[in-house]
Amino acid sequence: MTLAVIIGYLLVVLVIGLFSHRFFRGTSEDFFVAARTLGPFILLISLFGANMTAFALLGSSGEAYMEGIGVFALMASSSGLVIPVVFYFIGTRIWALGKRRGYLTPVQFFRERWGSDNLGLLLFVVQVGLLIPYLLIGVMGGGSTLTQVTGGQVPDWVGGLVISAVVLTYVTYGGMRGTVWVNVFQTVILLALGFIAFWVIIDKLGGLSAAMARLAETHPDMLVRGDHIKPLQLLTYTCIPLSVGMFPHMFIHWLTAKNAASFRPVIAFYPVCIAIVWVPSVLLGVLAHLDFPGLNAGAAGSVLVKMISLHAPGLLAGLLAAGVFAAIMNSFDSQVHAVGTMFTQDIVRHYGFHDRMGEKTQILVGRLFMVGILIATYVLSRFVDRSIFKLGVWCFTGFAALFPVVVAAVFWKRSTKWGAFASTVSVIVLWIWFVSQGWKTGSTTIGESGVMPVAVMLLVSTAAMIVGSLATRPPEAATLDKFFPKAER
């Protein structure tokens, strides 16, 4: 039954992705940014879906199992505030610049904003480099989830292969439109299944009040933050969601909007969407102590699957697996599309064709790169150690620490390419240092103080941007005219 539900779900995803091709206009702008036509509802669902990884379902419940209800404040409500604020101040302006100047990737924007090919190349390497662990995690997470929910019937390598094949089909055939259509379907599935799983399990546990009363007796520390989370950690963790400002796949998604007004519902409803997905996951994570006490961190990662298997096997287990696949593929497809778009536009088109490349050639090269990236990711996932999952957390830190680059590009007329270079290099150096330290100690905060490394990296990269810019020659008026319309100056 479980396997039948999953196969049925994947077939529906394929059909939606392939059907979207009927609306394909045959232009590179359509293939890479859906011809900038997405309206408010589609933009809300697709942006939310692209930013929700499998972590929102499986990881959050596992974290809540280990750390208690404080995980919601730490990771969810902070994102509910910071991410839409970034959309409001940065996303809308990037969309306007992208539409006016025809950008398809973040590197095109940064390269032209500061008139530097080398800076564009550096940012390309950093952004793609930080995205690779996510691609691997998507394939590996899909494989292990399928194995778990089918009780070992389906081997690990099959799940990863299936995810890669399905995503390859609709991303390369449907381009951004296919990706967005599937994202919308999958996000609705994700939101609905989170609620369904929650109510079925809570019902089996005798209702929310009864379950909470039992948990208060046996594991009272799960209902408070206590020593699980430090106040400084809560404060500095709010820097992490700034990563959304430098994620290439989010940047490219911003460019798909039909108009600035399309961002309005995205900004207004994003916090509620976050709560809808995270509250059930966090509650099920802490309540899992009633049925599965004493799990270690590794086993806690699949605690939601264990709860489903215990309380609602069969159909619901299949639906949950579909929800997890939805979460994985939602972000995975956008990331594959983004990396393929960047290789096509920022490397092949810019360096190979000196920005003169036919529409059909761009689409063909984009498709080839997307296929190549998926094959390479799948093959790599068969050899890479599972400790790469730990690196995923650090990648958020890297993207977030680059936030001053996009802020300066959009708002600070006096910023220069040297400031951007200094800021980016500071992030690279500090990221390598903090990751190597964190890898040794296993800690994600500085000296167990609660201060997240991202806060320090942000301060340093901001200082580097300011000092590097002020110490060098101001940008030319002609450049400023392109990016800051006179009405605004």
Q: What does the alpha-carbon distance between residue 258 and residue 35 come to, in Å, rounded to a whole number?
A: 8
Q: CB of 281 within 8 A of CB of 324?
A: no
CB neighbourhood size of 370 (10 A):
24
Chain center to CA of 63: 18
Under the binding rule (CB under 8 A), the answer on residue 101 touching other proteins is yes
In the complex, minimum distance from the CB of residue 278 to other proteins, in angstroms, rounded to a whole number: 9
In the complex, minimum distance from the CB of residue 380 to other proteins, in angstroms, rounded to a whole number: 33
**In the structure encoding, which two tokens stand for residue 123, read together?**
């940012």
Closer by beta carbon to other proteins, 154 or else 222: 222
Q: Which of 26, 152, 231, 442 touches other proteins by CB under 8 A?
A: 231
DSSP helix/strand/coil, 37: coil
User: Nearest 5°: phi and psi at 472?
Assistant: -120, 170
For Cα atoms 268, 304, 323, give the angle at the middle one, nearest 5 degrees: 55
DSSP-assigned states of every residue in 391-446: HHHHHHHHHHHTHHHHHHHHH-TT--HHHHHHHHHHHHHHHHHHHHHHHHH--SSG
Residue whose pair of structure tokens reads 């995270």 in the numeric block: 278
Under the binding rule (CB under 8 A), the answer on residue 261 touching other proteins is yes
Binding range to other proteins, per CB under 8 A, among 94-102, 157-165, 302-310, 432-440: 94-102
Binding range to other proteins, per CB under 8 A, among 132-140, 170-178, 279-287, 446-454: 279-287
In the complex, minimum distance from the CB of residue 349 to other proteins, in angstroms, rounded to a whole number: 8
Q: Which of 10, 18, 66, 81 touches other proteins by CB under 8 A?
A: 81
Under the binding rule (CB under 8 A), the answer on residue 256 touching other proteins is no
DSSP-assigned states of every residue in 324-380: HHHHHHHHHHHHHHHHHHHIIIIIIIIIISTT---HHHHHHHHHHHHHHHHHHHHHH
Under the binding rule (CB under 8 A), the answer on residue 434 touching other proteins is no
Q: Looking at residues 109 to 148 of the shown chain, list those that interact with other proteins (rule: CB under 8 A).
A: 112
The residue type found at 338 is A
Under the binding rule (CB under 8 A), the answer on residue 62 touching other proteins is no
Under the binding rule (CB under 8 A), the answer on residue 29 touching other proteins is no
Binding range to other proteins, per CB under 8 A, among 55-63, 89-97, 147-155, 401-409: 89-97
Q: x/- site string to other proteins, residues 190 to 209, per CB under 8 A?
A: ------------------xx
Q: For binding to other proteins (CB under 8 A), which residues are involved?
A: 69-70, 72-73, 76-78, 80-81, 84-85, 88, 92-93, 95-97, 99-102, 112, 208-209, 212, 216, 220, 223-226, 231, 234-235, 238, 259-261, 263-264, 267-272, 274-275, 279, 282-283, 355-356, 482, 485, 487-488
